[in-house]
Amino acid sequence: MLHISYTLYGKKVDVAAASLVGAGYRESVRAAARLASPQRWITLTASSSLIAEPRHLLSASLYAAAAHISGRRIARYPEVELLLYLLGTRNIREALNEAGKPGERLGVVAVNMEGSAGSLIRSLAERVGATITPLEDRGEGWVRRYSTYLESKGYAPPRDREAILALLRARAALVRLSV
């Protein structure tokens, strides 16, 4: 499980991400909603390839947490806000559509300002009967996924992982600046 912690505006923010195997997307979304509170949330994607790597997750979670804490969000729900920053878009429908595109494994990101984000993922996995696998076990699917996504947005299709990562992080920063 990928784990990141930081302090933002005096609040400790704990973030964890992993892949889930053996659980349905809709069932997992319902279970995640039951575990959520204003200070902890779980964002699910139908494919773990939407979570590129630690630096991508750090940028997206940082901007989403800052928007949540400051009350200057685009989306009503913090789970959706995180998707906006992962994709670098202000379009909620687009973010939800991308998050719902199926892959081999579900992606899960937990943000917890009250305790351990990893424990939220473990609770979710237990509730839906899933196995937690590290994001590192999923290969380079995110490179293909985001190359295609960025090309659909009018960018020359970058194939280099560092160029894609830089572009994703820049898009997230622009979304944050526009709020």
What is the number of alpha carbons within 13 Å of residue 153 lying toward its C-beta? 20
Return the closest-CA partner of residue 81 out of 97, 61, 100.
61
Q: How do the domains of the chain map onto residue ranges?
A: 2-177
pLDDT greater than 70 at residue 75? yes
φ and ψ of 129, to 5 deg: 70, 35
What is the pLDDT averaged over residues 54-58?
Answer: 94
**158: number of Cβ within 10 Å:** 18
Q: For 2-177, which CATH superfamily applies?
A: CGI121/TPRKB (3.30.2380.10)
* Residue-wise pLDDT tens digits, 3-52: 999 999 999 999 999 999 998 999 999 999 999 999 999 999 999 989 98
Return the closest-CA partner of residue 105 out of 130, 83, 78.
130
Q: Would you call 172 helix, strand, or coil by DSSP?
A: helix
Tell me the C-alpha to C-alpha distance, in Å, between residue 124 and each of 53, 60, 106, 129, 177.
Answer: 21, 21, 12, 8, 33
Q: What is the pTM of this model?
A: 0.92
